[in-house]
Amino acid sequence: KNQVEQSPQSLIILEGKNCTLQCNYTVSPFSNLRWYKQDTGRGPVSLTIMTFSENTKSNGRYTATLDADTKQSSLHITASQLSDSASYICVVSVYGQNFVFGPGTRLSVLP
Amino acid sequence: EAGVAQSPRYKIIEKRQSVAFWCNPISGHATLYWYQQILGQGPKLLIQFQNNGVVDDSQLPKDRFSAERLKGVDSTLKIQPAKLEDSAVYLCASRRTRRDRGGSTEAFFGQGTRLTVV
C-alpha cells in the first residue's frame, strides 16, 4: 500500500532556531517527492521537488534531502521566522499516477 | 500567471442540504484535481480530470458527491445531501500534464473552500 508518514506531528521552536522535519514513504513506483507549505486557511504551496537522482535541493532557508534507498526525506529550515509557522506536507508522486499525501507536520515558531 | 481560483471561500450549511463549489484552474492546465482535507490531516484525492474526462474517482463517495468539468476548463464539485462528516476544506489543484515521468510538472493549489456542516 502506498503510504507517506511524517514526523513529528507537531513542533514548536523559537524564532531563529533551526529544525528538521521527517518524511518516510512506501510508494512504488516512485516518481518524485515534494514538500509543500500550507498556511492556515490557504492552499498548499510547493517548496521543493526532487526526483530519484536528486539528493538535496534548496529553496532559500529550506533544504530538502532525499534518500531513495531508505525511502526517507527531510526538510531542514534554517534560522526560522515567525512566518514559517504552517503545516509542512510531504507528497510523493507515483509514476504515471497521482500524489500520495502525508498527514503534515504542524510547525509553530514563537518569538 | 493567475493562480487556481476557487469559490466560495467559506460555506456553512445544515446537514441534508446541498452545496456546490467552483474551481477555475490555471489557463492551459489539462489536469484538474479535487481534494478533501479534514482538519489536521493531509489532502485526500476525490477526483481527477484530464481535460473533461474523469481519470480517477475511486475515492469519491458517489452516492452524494458529483463533479464535472464539461468544457475541460472550470469544474464544479457538488455534495447532495451533505453530512456532518463532510465538514472539511475542499481544495482544487491543476497541473499542465497528467503523467509525471520523473520530471517537475508542478501542481498548483487554490486557497480552498472551507465547508462547515451543522
Give A41-96 pLDDT, tens digit per residue: 889 999 999 988 889 999 999 999 999 999 999 999 999 999 999 999 999 988 76
User: Does the beta-carbon distance from B112 to A93 stay under 8 Å?
Assistant: no
Q: Are B101 and A31 an interchain contact pair (Cβ–Cβ within 8 Å)?
A: yes
- The answer to whether B37 touches A102, Cβ cutoff 8 Å, is no
Contact B65, B82 (CB under 8 A): no
How far apart are the C-alpha atoms of B24 and B93, rounded to whole Å?
A: 9
pLDDT band (50, 70, 90) for residue B97: confident
> Does A42 lie at the interface with B, CB-CB under 8 angstroms?
yes
Q: What is the pLDDT of residue A95?
A: 74
Chain B contact for A108 (CB, 8 A cutoff): no
Q: Do B114 and A41 touch (CB under 8 A)?
A: yes
Q: Does A8 touch chain B (CB under 8 A)?
A: no
Q: Say whether A104 and B106 touch across the interface (CB within 8 A).
A: no
Interchain contact A101–B (C-beta under 8 A): yes
